[in-house]
Each structure stands twice: as C-alpha cells, then as structure tokens.
C-alpha cells in the first residue's frame, strides 16, 4: 500500500499548505481545462463539419468560452413558478461537485520535491482510491435527476428519468471493468494502480494486460455515464427540447454545461490512469524535466481521449433508448462478467486459463446462437411483445424515429423510457402498454 510521501514526517503547517496549494491548483487547472475543452470541441466539430467555428473572441476564438461565460452571468436568472425552488437551485451544484471531487484521485505526475518536501502530484491518494470515482459517479445522478424533477415540467422530468436510468445501468459495467484493473494492481489506490503499470512502456499498461476488452467497456460506459454523444439521450434535442436542463437559464445552465465538460475531462484522465499507465512514459534523466515530462505524458494521453470524445460526437448518431439499454444490460454487463472471470482465472491459474477461455467462448457462442434461435420464433415468444420490438431495430432504424414518437401516441415515449430502468415493473409496462411494442412492430411489418 502506497502512501503519499508528504505525510511521512507527520502533518505540520508546511504539509497543510502544500495540500491546500495542490487542491487550488488542481481546481484552477480543471476550470481552465474546461474552458479550453469547450473551445477545442467547438473547433474540432466545426473542422469536421467544414465550418469555421468560433473565431472572433481572441486568437483563434480561444476566448469564446470566456465571452459566453460572461454573457451567461449577466443573463436573467429565471426560476419557473412551478419549480421546487430550493431543489432547483441546488441541482446544478450537485451536478458539478462530483466531477470536481473525482478529479482529486487522478495522479497527474510522479513524485515532486520542492524545498525538501516530497509529494505526489495528485490532490489526494485515499486508500479507497478508485472507489471514490465510483461513489462520485453514482452521486452525479442526483444533479440530473433533481434538476429534471424540480423544474416542474414534462420534458425535463422525462430527460431526468432517462438520465438516471442510463447512468445507473452503465455504472455496473463501469464498476466491473474497474474491478479487473484492481485485481491486477492488487490495490484500490490510484497511485498504486499506476505504479503497477510502470515497469515497461505500453506492454505493462492495463490496456494490454487486461486484454483490450475492459478498456473498451470502460470507454463506452464512461461515455454513457457522462451523457456524451452518442449516448446523450438526456438532452436529446429532437425529442426532449433540452432534456433535464430545459428550464434552466443563465449561470445555472452554464454550471450544467461545465459539469458535463468537467466530467468528460475527469473521466478521460481516469481512463488514462486505469488503462494507459497515467503519467508513465519515457523520461529524460535531467533535473527539472524528469518531473515535468510525466505530466506532459499524462496531458498528452488525456488529450487523446478528449479528441476521441469530440470525434464520437461528430461521427456517431445518437442511439435509440432501447438500443442504449440493450447495449448496457445485454452486451456490456455479460461481457464484463465473462471477462472478469477470465482475468481472475488468468491471475491464479496461468496457462490453464487458455482452456477456460476456450470453453467460455464456445459456451457463449452456443448461448448467443440459442438466443438468436429463440428470437427467430417470432414476436409472440414467452417474453411478450418486447422481443418483437427489439427485432425492429434494424429496418426501423433511427430515421423513422421522429415519426414513431410523434405520430403514434405519446404513450410510446414514457413507456420506452421506463423500459430502460431495468426494473421488472418498467419492462412489464413497456410491453403492456402496447405502444412501445406494437409501435415499432407496426412500422416494421
């Protein structure tokens, strides 16, 4: 178990000062990073869409976010009459807090020594480490959920329900891919996790050591967790106006916006920590550079993922709600369970695991085949209409979605969103109301 070398000699005023400075610097850096990230995203998106993008405020439009922020500060702060005023005001802060707190556990660099004090370049290294990330991501549901509820109108509530169901569903897959990393590292501490990956460049990263699958699962789950496209059903503009933040304006809206980008940055940093060795990389043995180059490695790897997120947004169409839930519950969770067995087996049994893997692959292929055959028996299977609706996936596609949502009764909308809660009650309702099941089937046939 690794401890921050800062506290080896006990806690006195210099140590407290260093801790405070670390926290303030991390907070400021995160804020600036959010500003830059918004600009970065808008620029990249506009490049990909053959537009110019922001180019007025400052060089290359760099200050555009600042200008937007100032504008939002001076806009009128509207609170709807029907809202629950206290919760309405509380929700943006509940949304932004987890994103900030989760960043505290990310190791930004190696051990730094200033004036005789050696300390880790990370805000905190608690013994629970990565569990803090899971705790914070489960807390971040509250911001969205309460914002939607307290607004007191339909679309925000629907958006909030979708959001919370989505976030809860993908948390499971996310947690399980974290477990695999923890199994390999043997510790929950993020510092311990990057230390365990630091032996050789690339080959010792968890990306390779766990097999690429947990990395992919984590990437997808995190994208859903932060409500980024293509999983941004929370604010699906074409269906929900603005989603959970429809009723928000001025700086409260900006806080939600910032929270989204902040959690994107935090999660990218966490991916780097868990799977790409954090600040691990070739370092020149020169006085100051050996402390700064790891930070550069970390920032570079994080930028890679930030770019990937922007790319996702530009390239991928938004998933339909049932597709989203299918992906979470029927693909990611079983896959991560199976892979976790493999990783755990490999840890204790060595090459035996090859046989185990063979058996598992054979078994899952058979199971998959059986499910396909079962689906082929038609929509009136033992599971009711829902399977029939699932079959409509391919031909119905995204294109016919608006028609289905507006032309058919609106019963389809909540029914579909409820079916995603994964709760038995919700799914029974989605099948039972007939709109979700027969609606899709009707288009298909």
Partner 1 sequence: MSTVVTVVASIGPLAHLAGAGLLGVVSRVDFATFWACAVIVVVGAVGVVVSRNPVHAALMLVMTLFAVAVLFIEQHANFLAAVQVIVYAGAIVVLFLFVIMFLGVDRDEDVNQEPLRGQRILAPVLVVLGLAGVLVLGIGAHWAVGAPSVVGPARGQPGGDVAALGRAVFTVYLFPFEITAGLLVIAVVGAVVLARRPPTAGQDELSVGVPGDQVAGSDGGTAAGTAGEETPAGTDAHATDATGQPGPAGDVGVSPELAGSSEPQPVPQPEPHEVAP
Rank residues 146 and 207 by Cβ distance to partner 1 and give the closer one. 146
Query: Per CB under 8 A, does 238 bind partner 1?
Result: no
Q: What 3-state class would DSSP assign to 120?
A: strand
Closest CB to partner 1 among residues 165, 269: 165
Q: N- to C-terminal Cα distance for the chain?
A: 60
CB-nearer residue toward partner 1: 55 or 406: 406
- Interface of this chain with partner 1, residues 71 to 90, rule: CB under 8 A: 82-87, 90
d(CA 437, CA 408): 12
Peptide bond into 230 cis (omega under 30): yes
Q: Does 179 bind partner 1 (CB under 8 A)?
A: no
DSSP annotation of 245: G
Angle made by CA atoms 383, 385, 386, in degrees to the nearest 5: 75
CA triple 272-274-277, angle to 5 deg: 60
424 binds partner 1 (CB under 8 A): yes
Q: Which is nearer to partner 1, 230 or 422 (CB)?
A: 422
Q: What minimum distance in Å lies between the beta carbon of 239 and partner 1?
A: 10
Which of 18, 53, 62, 154 touches partner 1 by CB under 8 A?
154
Q: Does 433 bind partner 1 (CB under 8 A)?
A: yes
- Kindly state the smallest distance separating residue 211's Cβ from partner 1, in Å: 24
Q: What are phi and psi of 401, to 5 degrees?
A: -65, -50
Q: In the window 90-119, what residues touch partner 1 (CB under 8 A)?
A: 90
Give whichever of 41 and 386 is closer to partner 1, judged by the CB atom: 386
**Which own/partner pairs from 46-54 qualify as long-range (CB within 8 Å, at least 24 positions apart)?**
48/311, 48/314, 48/315, 49/314
Buried/exposed 369-387: b ≥16 CB within 10 Å, e otherwise: eeeeeeeeeebeeeebbbb
Let me know: does 144 contact 163? Beta carbons within 8 Å.
Answer: yes
Contacts of 155 (CB under 8 A, 6+ apart): 240, 241, 242, 243, 246
Query: Does residue 307 bind partner 1 (CB under 8 A)?
Result: no
Q: Which stretch binds partner 1 (CB under 8 A): 36-44, 46-54, 69-77, 414-422?
A: 414-422
Number of CB atoms found within 10 A of residue 292's CB: 15
DSSP-assigned letter for residue 197 = T
380 binds partner 1 (CB under 8 A): yes
Stretch in the footprint of partner 1 (CB under 8 A) among 33-41, 113-121, 355-363, 377-385: 377-385
State the residues that interact with partner 1 by CB under 8 A: 1, 82-87, 90, 126-128, 131-132, 134-135, 138-139, 141-142, 145-146, 149, 152-155, 157-158, 161, 164, 168, 171, 187-188, 380-384, 405-406, 409-411, 413-415, 418, 421, 423-425, 427-429, 431-434, 438
């Amino acid at each position: 178990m690794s401890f921050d070398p800062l506290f080896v000699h006990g806690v006195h005023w210099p140590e407290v000062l260093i801790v405070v400075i670390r926290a303030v610097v991390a907070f400021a850096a995160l804020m600036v990073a959010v500003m830059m990230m918004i600009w970065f995203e808008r620029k990249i998106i506009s490049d990909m869409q053959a537009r110019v993008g922001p180019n007025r405020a400052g060089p290359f439009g760099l200050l555009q976010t600042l200008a937007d922020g100032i504008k939002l500060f001076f806009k009128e702060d509207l609170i709807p009459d029907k809202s629950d005023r206290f919760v309405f005001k509380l929700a943006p802060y509940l949304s932004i807090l987890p994103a900030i707190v989760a960043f505290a556990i990310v190791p930004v660099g190696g051990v730094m020594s200033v004036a005789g004090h050696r300390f880790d370049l990370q805000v905190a290294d608690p013994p629970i480490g990565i569990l803090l990330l899971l705790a914070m991501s489960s807390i971040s549901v509250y911001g969205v959920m309460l914002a939607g509820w307290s607004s007191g109108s339909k679309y925000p509530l629907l958006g909030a329900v979708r959001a919370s169901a989505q976030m809860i569903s993908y948390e499971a897959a996310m947690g399980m891919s974290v477990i695999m990393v923890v199994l390999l590292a043997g510790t929950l501490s993020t510092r311990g996790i990057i230390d365990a990956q630091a032996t050789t460049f690339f080959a010792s990263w968890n990306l390779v050591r766990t097999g690429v699958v947990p990395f992919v699962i984590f990437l997808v789950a995190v994208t859903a967790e932060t409500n980024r496209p293509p999983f941004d059903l929370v604010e699906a503009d074409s269906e929900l106006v603005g989603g959970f933040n429809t009723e928000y304006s001025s700086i409260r809206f900006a806080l939600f916006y910032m929270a989204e980008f902040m959690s994107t940055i935090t999660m990218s940093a966490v991916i780097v920590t868990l799977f790409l060795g954090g600040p691990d990389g070739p370092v020149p043995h020169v006085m100051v550079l050996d402390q700064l180059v790891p930070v550069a490695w970390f920032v570079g790897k994080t930028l890679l993922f930030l770019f990937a997120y922007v790319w996702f947004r530009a390239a991928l169409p938004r998933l339909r709600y049932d597709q989203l839930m299918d992906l979470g519950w029927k693909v990611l969770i079983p896959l991560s369970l199976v892979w976790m067995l493999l990783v755990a087996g490999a840890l204790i049994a060595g090459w035996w695991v090859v046989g185990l893997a063979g058996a598992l692959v054979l078994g899952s292929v058979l199971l998959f085949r059986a499910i396909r055959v079962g689906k082929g028996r038609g929509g009136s299977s033992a599971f009711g209409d829902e399977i029939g609706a699932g079959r409509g996936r391919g031909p119905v596609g995204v294109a016919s979605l608006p028609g289905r949502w507006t032309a058919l009764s609106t019963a389809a909308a909540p029914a579909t969103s409820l079916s995603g809660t994964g709760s038995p009650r919700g799914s029974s309702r989605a099948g039972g109301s007939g709109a979700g099941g027969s609606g899709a089937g009707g288009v298909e046939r």
